[in-house]
Amino acid sequence: MMTKNNQIILGIDPGLATTGYGVLTGSEAHMKPVAYGSIITSPKMSLSQRLQIIYDEVSAIIEEYKPDEIGVEELFFSRNVTTALLVGQARGVVLLAAQQRNLKLLEFKPVEVKMAVTGYGRADKRQIQQMVKILLGLPAIPKPDDTADALAIAICHMQSRNLKILAQRVIEENR
């Protein structure tokens, strides 16, 4: 499968309090960071206000950087059901922002991101952050953690997009 050489990929690590984002350009062999940061919402705001901020900010990032594709981490469910539901709602507005602009969106499990960035599916946060810094030639580990995670998602997307797209196509054809 051939792809254009200079992709613009937006990686997003959704969360209600902090949604990290990272924009990369290039190809899997030559990735360059374009922009990265976090969208912060206050717990003093209503849920609907916080979701509106996330939606508006993600929409503005999409409009400014015009990504070819978006990578988002799949919802990781552990023990805290309330947290998972809130993260799911934040994730929903991110998916909506991408869908409204007809952007191709790929979802990645946490283990896929860890494998793509470190080569080890059980890597800890510090290992992932250090590899993000090294792979992108950054002067320091991006803060907060959600920003580094979003860049890791964008790296994973850049490195695995051809395989993921092919797998999705096969699944859709076999339905």
Sequential pLDDT tens for the chain (175 residues): 334 568 999 999 999 999 999 999 998 778 999 999 999 999 999 999 999 999 999 999 999 999 999 999 988 666 677 788 889 999 999 999 999 999 999 999 999 999 999 999 999 999 999 999 999 999 999 999 999 999 999 999 998 876 666 677 778 888 7
Tell me the β-bridge partners of 173: none
1: in domain: no
- CA–CA distances in Å: residue 69 to residues 49, 76, 161: 27, 21, 9
82: in domain: yes
Phi then psi for residue 111, to 5 deg, are -65, -35
In total, how many domains does the chain have?
Answer: 1
Distance of CA 133 to the CA centre of its chain: 16
71-102: per-residue pLDDT in tens?
999 886 666 777 888 899 999 999 999 999 99
24: in domain: yes
pTM for the full model? 0.89
- Which pLDDT belongs to residue 77? 63
3-class state of residue 92 by DSSP = helix
28: in domain: yes
Question: What is the length of the chain?
Answer: 175
Residues belonging to the active site:
13, 73, 146
- Which pLDDT belongs to residue 4? 54
DSSP for 16-78, written as a single string = SSEEEEEEEEEETTEEEEEEEEEEE--TTS-HHHHHHHHHHHHHHHHHHH--SEEEEEPPP--
CATH code, domain with 73: 3.30.420.10
Domain that residue 56 falls in: 7-173
Structure tokens at 26: 């290039």
- Which pLDDT belongs to residue 171? 80
Tell me the β-bridge partners of 10: 23, 70
